[in-house]
Structure 1
Amino acid sequence: MTTRPTPTLAVVGAGPKAIAVAAKAAELRGMGVDVPDVVAIERSVVGANWQAVGGWTDGQHRLGTSPEKDVGFPYRSSLVPRRNAELDERMMRHSWQSYLVASAQFADWVDRGRPAPTHLGWSRYLRWVADNIGMSVITGEVQRISTDGRRWELVTPRQIVHADGVMITGPGQAQRSILPNDPRVLSIAQFWERAARPDLIVAERVAVIGGGETAASMLNELFRHRVSTITVISPQVTLFTRGESFFENTLFSDPTDWASLTMAERRDALGRTDRGVFSARVQDALLADDRIRHLRGRVAHAVARDERIRLTLSSNRGGEALETVHGFDLVIDGSGADSMWFEPLFSQDARDLIELALRAPLSGDALQESIGHDLSVAALTPKLFLPGLSGLTQGPGFPNLSCLGLLSDRVLGARYPDVAPHPSTRRTDEHQPVR
């Protein structure tokens, strides 16, 4: 008998999703279960987007999700019949509580009332898990993704990685902004770099574009600076609070009934619980500061004029399209993640193959509606896993941190077509465990 080659799953980004999948794969392998080889390709460091180096935070603000929703949560594995309890027990070795015990922080954390860790503290936990499993990480930025119709080819500055499946994670680049060459308009990364300086930000009128948690963290930081008014610009009619009751949280942890909802009901649920909403903790801080204002609309145009940044906002009032212009001394573009940030990476042959599977031009809407149970684009070979776009079809917890254990089940439970023998693309220095 010939041994069937082991598939390779390449993950773009070494964040929580990559670590969750790699950790479960390691434990399954320890149980004697065949799983893909998981390798992450990371342009910076493990957990970079939770540290200042990633540009999305200064690392000092609090995690919006409970840390108990760690890489194994909700600990209801379904991959190994009659052995799933064993798998969950093994995954508990990588839990948030296990990390605190191992680092002598558990009693202190409990005595303080189980506070949310800082983003930097969360990144230390992720690094700890990656270290424990000897996670394979290639340091380098993916520059292009192409395909021969059977496997993916991921090009980095130093090497080419071949894979039978690709999972794309992360929010993209934190450097983009509506006016990238004007010092009075800051991207997310530029804002955190500026906020880290010893001198405070001084401005009369500040605008923050965005109504999600990225914008919320920046608002929390702005409170300590010398600014007179802070205007939050978002498409919503007001600044909504994320639903955090048992019923809303269950949607994230257990999407069993998600498929029974209509598309309209799903979109409504996503809008109420996840997209463009602030956590209750952040809303409490906003209520205590009378400098905060809200403007409804989308930024249609930005221009520097008369020593100010003029933003043209478009909105719909009573079925009528309206445009208004507002001037600010400082604008912070915190509109958040771009769910399609990876699209320019695809070569033309990859785009053609994806569009053939979609039976439609490549777009965010088409991809969202195509995501199947294993979080990959249906009918596409080789496998392309897009958990960041899976909320609409599979449940709101998969794009974020709310059910990483269930996410890893879905991805590792994917069926690959027969993997033909192929020359290994690995070198001795190619996949180095995290040190």
Structure 2
Amino acid sequence: MTRSSTPTLVVVGAGVKAVAVAAKAAVLREMDIAVPRIVAVERTAVAANWRADGGWTDGQHRLGTSPEKDVGFPYRSSLVPRRNAELDERMTRYSWQSYLIGTNQFAEWVDRGRPAPTHKKWSQYLRWVADNVDMNVIFGEVQRISVDSGANGQRWAVHTADQCVDGDGLMITGPGQPERSILPGNPRVLSIAEFWHRAAQCELIAAERVAVIGGGESAASMLNELFRHRVSTITVISPQVTLFTRGEGFFENTLFSDPTGWTGLTLDERRDALTRTDRGVFSARVQEALLSDDRIRHLRGRVAHAVARDGRIRLTLSTNQGAERLETVHGFDLVIDGSGADSAWFIPLLGQDALDLLEIGLGGPLTADALQDAIGYDLAVTNVTPKLFLPALSGLTQGPGFPNLSCLGLLSDRILGADIGAGTEPDDTADRATRRSDEHQPVR
């Protein structure tokens, strides 16, 4: 057994975070800086969640974040002493503006007032970056994640239906699967994917009473789409006391792009900031549309139970009234389950060895809250080796920009600056991740 000269970082999901890390790694490699080999394992396509076939959008809605917050933003690298300015300059070759220039769209975009791109256009940008850095993507749905033990330590093993990809580090991205709903298979209850599939097919919804479950951006995007459909009333169900508007001023935005002072805040201060700016809130643009539409109502509560009865879907809502819990029942003709992404969607995929590894590192049961509290500076779970990077769960401990699009350049710095080590491999074989990925051409 000999030590592999280059460690491998396996990324589950070929979305925006995977593209950002692959781009930064490619630039560092050009600068003769040692970086891990990046291998992404993707179910369908690069940037699929920004397209209609990904299930999270119809591709025609506008990006809520400024497109200038691209894969290198905020271009304030700290990985290479005395060469960070060079690194940032090289990264601008993969910026949003460079994409527009390279595809002859820059002048038109400027002349139109720099509009927010559609989700589909954003996916085209990400695919352009992935193509230009020869991002290594293995296509297959992850079915199990385990830990393999070798002579020189442990490595992650990501299993699809027909192959296994080994890595010295593992990064898990993505919001999970949009097909879930409170009543699967019932035609009067739509999952996020089912709703956007109908929207993409230009199939108008006709119903008297429609309920949308969720108070975050997934629900907000669907409300924005519902305005054009033939519905009489739209009731938004969320646990918040009202539908809050996301803070989008300079000071709020700075928290996302510059997390320097984040760890100096108390946990209560951090939670309050997240509540005001990121979790369970609607963008100002969506709120403005809500104000002009008198079909919108709000019900406070969490859905405790759902049942189909007499041609309707009856939802039991649970709310806290002081020290007591109150339950009420409401009937709807159509329910859209937009309760949002699940940042811990991957836990059911973990094998017993991986579960044991994480529970030992956490010092207790594996839960989303426990993982969230344990995310360190490098966006990995502390006290766990090999490294497990969970940027979607890093907002509370490291800053609100890391789980989303607001500081992708800093995210790639944190992850590529981590020491993920290198595993072992037999003398007469190549690294399994490399061998298997060689069967696929770089994404085009």
- Matched-pair contact (CA < 8 Å) for 2:3–2:425: no
Shift of 1:223: 0.7
Question: Is residue 434 of structure 1 aligned with residue 443 of structure 2?
Answer: yes
Residue in 2 aligned with 1:112?
A: 112
- 1:49-64 paired onto structure 2 within 5 Å: 49-64=49-64
Q: For residues 171-250 of structure 1, what are the structure 2 equivalents within 5 Å?
A: 171-250=175-254
Aligned to 1:291: 295
Does residue 1:399 correspond to 2:403, yes or no? yes
**Is this contact kept in 2: 1:174–1:189, CA < 8 A?**
yes
User: With structure 2 as the length reference, what TM-score do the two structures score?
Assistant: 0.96
CA distance in 2, matches of 1:279, 1:199: 26
Partner of residue 307 from structure 2, selected from 303, 308, 314: 303
Report if the CA contact (8 A) 1:203-1:227 is conserved.
Answer: yes
| Residue aligning to 1:358 | 362
Deviation at 1:431, TM superposition (A): 4.7
Q: C-alpha distance in 2, partners of 1:395/1:199?
A: 40
Summarize the Cα distance change of 1:198–1:393 in structure 2 as closer, same or farther, 3 Å threshold: closer
TM-superposed CA distance for 1:197, in Å, is 3.4
Assess if the C-alpha contact under 8 Å between 1:6 and 1:36 holds in 2: yes
Q: CA deviation at 1:213?
A: 1.1
Task: Give the partner amino acid of 2:16.
Answer: P
1:212 to partner: Cα distance? 1.0
Which range is displaced more, 412-421 or 120-129? 412-421
| C-alpha separation in 2, matches of 1:49 and 1:133 | 20
Alignment CA distance shift 1:109-1:318 (3 Å): same
Q: Say if 2:136 and 2:437, in contact at 8 Å, map to a contact too.
A: no
* Whole-angstrom distance in 2 between the partners of 1:80 and 1:148: 32
Question: Which is worse superposed, 404-413 or 422-431?
Answer: 422-431
241-250 or 318-327, larger mean C-alpha shift: 318-327
Name the aligned partner's letter for residue 324 of structure 1.
T
* Distance (whole Å) between structure 1 residues aligned to residue 38 and residue 320 of structure 2: 46
Q: Letter of the aligned partner of 1:133 in structure 2?
A: V
- 1:23-422 to 2 correspondences below 5 Å: 23-149=23-149, 150-417=154-421, 419-422=423-426
| 8 Å contact kept, 2:168–2:421 | no
Cα shift at 1:430: 3.4
Q: Which amino acid aligns with 1:432?
A: Q
Letter in 2 for 1:138: I
Deviation at 1:408, TM superposition (A): 0.1
State the distance in 2 between where 1:182 and 1:123 align. Answer: 31
Kept in 1, the 8 Å contact 2:3–2:422? The answer is no
CA distance in 2, matches of 1:22, 1:417: 18
Q: 1:199 and 1:17 mapped to 2: Cα distance?
A: 32
Distance 2:74 2:326 in 1: 45
**2: distance between equivalents of 1:199 and 1:357?**
49
TM-score for the superposition, normalised by structure 1: 0.98
- Preserved contact between residue 232 and residue 293 of structure 1 (Cα < 8 Å): yes
Structure 1's 358 and 431: CA in aligned 2 closer, same or farther, altered over 3 A?
Answer: farther
- Partners of 1:375 and 1:411 within 8 A in 2: yes
Which whole-Å CA distance do the structure 2 matches of 1:252 and 1:110 have between them? 25
Cα separation, 2, equivalents of 1:289 and 1:97: 36
Q: Give how far 1:340 is off.
A: 1.0
1:421 deviates by 4.5
- The answer on whether the counterparts of 2:52 and 2:200 sit within 8 Å (CA) in structure 1 is no
CA distance in 2, matches of 1:93, 1:397: 22
User: Structure 1 CA distance, aligned partners of 2:203 and 2:137?
Assistant: 37
What CA distance in whole angstroms lies between the structure 1 residues aligned with 2:201 and 2:155? 46
Deviation of residue 432 (structure 1)?
A: 2.6
Rounded Cα–Cα distance in structure 1 between residues aligned with 2:233 and 2:19: 41
- Once the two structures are TM-superposed, the CA of residue 185 in structure 1 deviates from its matched residue by 0.2
Cα distance between partner residues in 1 of 2:63 and 2:183:
29
C-alpha deviation, 1:3, in angstroms: 8.0
**How far did residue 196 of structure 1 move?**
3.0
Structure 1 residue 143: Cα displacement: 0.7
Contact 1:140/1:157 (<8 A) preserved: yes
Contact 2:216 2:280 in 1 (8 A): yes
Distance in 1, matches of 2:437 and 2:390, equals 29
Instruction: Please list every run of 5 or more consecutive structure 1 residues that lacks an aligned counterpart in the other structure.
Output: none
How has the CA–CA distance of structure 1 residues 428 and 308 changed in structure 2, closer, same or farther, with 3 Å as cutoff?
closer
